[in-house]
Amino acid sequence: MNEQSYLIFTFNHSHYCILTIAVKEIFFVPEVTVITEAPPGILGVINLRGELLPVLDLYQQLGQLRPSFQLTDSMIVLEWQSQRLGIIVSQVDEVQAIATDQITTRLYGQSKKILQEGITSGIATIKNSIVTIFKPGL
């Protein structure tokens, strides 16, 4: 059984995860500076130790309305193939090993993939919760 380590987090009352090898650091959300002409899907930037880090708007990426951010929200800094960006999540839950046979892109009895090409790569059931798996490069 082939397993990989994932960081599980809560976002908009749902569970998501991403490969831990893409996670560089986690901290409480600092002030995000909105950039008026930023590319679609970029919420703004933060100053991370003298470097500007783009912050991805997961709500827009997932087609959801964005509520106000909370003081308890967390920033996850991701790095994949020399690209760095931040994502804002409601809560960081745990690191969990997920076996490849626990991950699916199909519903029971369906032969077609249920996930479109995008930022997700599959779904898994972990501790009786359905978890959507983000691609490491989002």
What integer is the mean pLDDT of 6-15?
94
Residue 22 is part of a domain; what is its CATH number? Answer: 2.40.50.180
Query: Tokens 């691609």 sit at which residue?
Result: 135
* Three-state DSSP state, 106: coil
pLDDT surpasses 90 at 55:
yes
Q: Is residue 113 predicted with pLDDT exceeding 60?
A: no
Task: Determine which of 44-58, 95-109, 114-128 has the lowest per-residue pLDDT on average.
Answer: 114-128
Output the CA torsion sign for 24, 28, 33, 37. positive
C-alpha to C-alpha distance for 112 and 107, rounded to whole angstroms: 8
Domain hosting 37: range is: 3-134
**Contact predicate 91/72, CB 8 Å:** yes
What are the backbone angles phi and psi of residue 129, rounded to the nearest 5°? Answer: -115, 140
Q: What is the mean pLDDT of residues 50-72?
A: 89
Number of domains in the chain: 1
In the prediction, which pLDDT does 60 show? 86
pTM for the whole structure: 0.88
CA dist., res. 94 & res. 29, Å (int): 18
Residue 40 has pLDDT above 90, yes or no: no
